[in-house]
Structure 1
Amino acid sequence: MIVLGFESSCDETACALVEDGRLIAEHIASQADLHSLFGGVVPELASREHLRLIHRLHQRVLDDAEISPQDIDVVAAARGPGLLGSLLVGLSYAKGVALACDVPLIGINHLQAHLLVAELEQPVTYPALGVLVSGGHTQTVLMESALQYHVLGKTLDDAAGEAFDKAAKALNLPYPGGRLIDILGQNVPPDRSLFPRPYIDNDNLDFSFSGLKTAVSTFIDQHPHLRLKSMPASPDATMLESFPHELKVVCSSLMWSIADALRIKVERALKRTPEVQSIIVAGGVAANSRIRQTMGELAREHNLAFHVPRPAFCMDNAAMIAYAGWKWHAAGYQHALNIDAIARGGKIPDDMIRVNTDTEKCLAEHFA
């Protein structure tokens, strides 16, 4: 079975093909250079870029895999959460392809797809604790199986990625700044008293990073010499090496505060879910070296399998959408062509259509 997947939830346009759970082709077009001019994603520009790029990416993956539209069995597309205009471009295009090819359509929960992409690289043992860390979301999720999960804790305001992005902007680092903070902070001991570990003095599993954003912003205002005088367009390794050591300590300390706050909440979640056998860390911020290290150490301490996708699969991509589509279709589900895109903050409805009357048997075959 070949699944064609489309991703357009934010500022990456992507198209991929998955055959029987194996990635056979993918193309991604990043809009980072465009949005860096504005210091962040401009929704209207993102939508227009998706519209400009999606068809050519579709043609490229078909050419790379040497297949024709008639070979496609299922079309999958991210339906949310994300930027509504961007989602509408990808979902509408996917609807057209599904209709033209007379094949089923599946709308994919973008967040669930981030967690499932770990399976593309190695088998995952369930139940698993999913730790989703991205620019817009920070969640812990109990995954009873690949397709059965519920949220244990989520961000109450700003996500971890938002804290990285705002710190980078305050330091006048170019967008996307989280990657540069990671590079600058690597191999530099953090000052653990510099910034707070946000929202840990409680007994719940939720997250809040707004206070950390304020603390970092206040610190930089009090130390304006840390702010770069001009924003470098594409700083190379030599330029980054020349940045002040004090700035690197700030980056390292911010990473430690975020990673340790995550560790505390994840460890708390593990105590409440003793049945868990694996930890999956996913989302764009899962590419951060300190978070990967901290979560890996936590998994080893608890004798749990640890899964974190390679950095390319942490970012928004269509491989995860196509793979999730393959999972859902194998389990006997699809969507009607009138499904809606769901913007960030909205709840993804449980509106899949069960087309396989022996779904339980199908689930047992694919997810045992």
Structure 2
Amino acid sequence: MICLGVETSCDETALALVQDGRLVCEKMASQERLHAVFGGVVPELASREHLRKGVLLYRALLKESGIAPADIGCVAVARGPGLLGSLLVGMNLAKGLSLGLNARLVGVNHLHAHLMAASLEREIPFPALGLLISGGHTHLYLIRSHIEFELLGRTLDDAAGEALDKAAKMVNLPYPGGKFVDQLGRLGVADESLFPRPLTGVPGLDFSFSGLKTSVARYVSQHPGLRLESLPGEDVSQLAAMPGLADFCASINWTVADTLRIKTQRALTAHGRVRSLIVAGGVAANSVIRRVMLELCGKFGVEPVFPSMTLCTDNAAMIANLGWMLFRDGYCHGQDLEAIPRGRVVPFDYHA
């Protein structure tokens, strides 16, 4: 059975086809350059771009894959969490396609899709501990199957990805800044005592990164020489010679990674029966976080599960994949399916 996935939760417009758990084709339009001018995602512009690109990508997807519309059995759509305007554009496209193709509609939790993305490439041993790290979310889950997610801990304010992006913005690195902090940090030496690891001195599995952002802002204000006079291009390696900048990036990168390690280690200690650790989301592409989590898996004897780099960022393949699994198990939605913005819990309200 073929499932069409639609992803418009933030600033990536993407559509993909998955057949029986195998990715057939995906088409994506990035808005990175559009929002780079503003140093962050502008919701209204994101919605307009989704509206402009959605149908074009659908036509290109069918043409490239050779799949006939009549062969599509279900349409899966990211229903949330995300930017409400962006979600609504994707929701309306998915509902229209569902009616036009006479295919069933399946709403997908965007966060759960991230955690299950690696199943497109390999089997995931369950039960698993899931660490979801992105620009908007930092969550820990106990995952018993592709439909059983127990939230263990979450960010109380800012997410890990936001802390990295804002740190980059403070020194005028390009948008999105997290990947440039990682690139430049590889060329420096981390000072492990430079920044605090927030909320690690108290018990529990919740995260907080707002205090870290404040600490970074204070440090940059005291060291104005770290700020770039002009934005560099995509290649930031030439900035390694700038006094203190690479070490600053290495230090903030290490602090975020070690904060995640401390909380994940607590979860593994409390739930030692898990067989694997899934690390997913856009920030899962960070090299330091990957290394730290691999070491943690070795320490606890659990299998590391990392999606490939292309499956870490927002994509439609993960939406189609989880949508296909849900539909295969008999779950679907009606045309009254609602979009769920960030800050609200996505309900498990499927029809049998």
Q: If the TM-score is normalised by the length of the shorter chain, which range does it land in?
A: over 0.9
Q: Which runs of 5+ in 1 are unaligned?
A: 355-368
Following TM superposition, where does structure 1 have runs of at least 4 consecutive aligned residues deviating by more than 3 angstroms? 237-241
CA distance in 2, matches of 1:235, 1:123: 35
**Alpha-carbon shift at residue 237 of structure 1 (Å):** 5.2
Aligned to 1:261: 259
Aligned to 1:239: 238
Q: 1:298-338: per-residue Cα shift (whole Å, max 9, x none)?
A: 00111111011111110000000000001100111100111
CA contact (8 A) 2:173 2:180 kept: yes
CA distance in 2, matches of 1:121, 1:189: 34
**Alpha-carbon shift at residue 65 of structure 1 (Å):** 1.1
CA distance in 1, matches of 2:26, 2:93: 17
**Alpha-carbon shift at residue 239 of structure 1 (Å):** 3.4
CA distance in 2, matches of 1:237, 1:155: 30
Aligned to 1:7: 7
CA contact (8 A) 2:183 2:236 kept: no
Correspondence 1:346 to 2:344: yes
**Alpha-carbon shift at residue 171 of structure 1 (Å):** 0.6
Where 1:334 maps in the other structure, the secondary structure is coil
Aligned to 2:181: 181
Q: 1:257-295: per-residue Cα shift (whole Å, max 9, x none)?
A: 000010000000011112100000000000100001101
CA distance in 1, matches of 2:243, 2:31: 31
| TM-score normalised by structure 1 residue count | 0.94
The one-letter amino acid paired with 2:269 is K
CA distance in 2, matches of 1:134, 1:290: 15
Where 1:290 maps in the other structure, the secondary structure is helix
- 1:1-368 alignment, distance < 5 Å: 1-232=1-232, 234-236=233-235, 239-241=238-240, 243-354=241-352
Where 2:244 maps in the other structure, the secondary structure is helix
**Alpha-carbon shift at residue 187 of structure 1 (Å):** 4.4
Where 2:125 maps in the other structure, the secondary structure is coil
Where 2:320 maps in the other structure, the secondary structure is helix
**Alpha-carbon shift at residue 189 of structure 1 (Å):** 2.2
The one-letter amino acid paired with 2:31 is Q
Aligned-pair identity in percent equals 54
How many residue pairs end up in the alignment? 352
Where 1:353 maps in the other structure, the secondary structure is coil
CA contact (8 A) 2:226 2:245 kept: yes
**Alpha-carbon shift at residue 238 of structure 1 (Å):** 5.2
Aligned to 1:366: none
Q: 1:130-150: per-residue Cα shift (whole Å, max 9, x none)?
A: 000000000100001121111
**Alpha-carbon shift at residue 61 of structure 1 (Å):** 1.3
CA distance in 2, matches of 1:350, 1:280: 21
Are residues 248 and 91 of structure 1, via their aligned partners in 2, closer, same or farther at CA, if it must alter by over 3 Å? same
Where 1:239 maps in the other structure, the secondary structure is helix
Where 2:324 maps in the other structure, the secondary structure is helix
The one-letter amino acid paired with 1:303 is G
Q: Which runs of 5+ in 2 are unaligned?
A: none
Aligned to 1:363: none
The one-letter amino acid paired with 2:259 is A
CA distance in 2, matches of 1:70, 1:113: 25
Q: 1:75-118: per-residue Cα shift (whole Å, max 9, x none)?
A: 00000000000000011100000000111000100000000001
Q: 1:135-171: per-residue Cα shift (whole Å, max 9, x none)?
A: 0000100001121111000000000011011111101
CA distance in 1, matches of 2:299, 2:270: 16
Q: 1:210-233: per-residue Cα shift (whole Å, max 9, x none)?
A: 00000001100110110001123x
Where 1:333 maps in the other structure, the secondary structure is coil
Are residues 205 and 238 of structure 1, via their aligned partners in 2, closer, same or farther at CA, if it must alter by over 3 Å? closer
CA distance in 1, matches of 2:56, 2:125: 37
Where 2:145 maps in the other structure, the secondary structure is coil
CA distance in 1, matches of 2:28, 2:313: 10
Moved more, 183-192 or 281-290: 183-192
CA distance in 1, matches of 2:331, 2:189: 49
Q: 1:51-82: per-residue Cα shift (whole Å, max 9, x none)?
A: 00111111111111101111101100000000
Question: Superposition RMSD on alpha carbons, in Å?
Answer: 1.0
Moved more, 282-291 or 58-67: 58-67
The one-letter amino acid paired with 1:8 is T
Where 1:144 maps in the other structure, the secondary structure is strand
CA contact (8 A) 2:184 2:237 kept: no
The one-letter amino acid paired with 2:248 is V
The one-letter amino acid paired with 1:21 is G
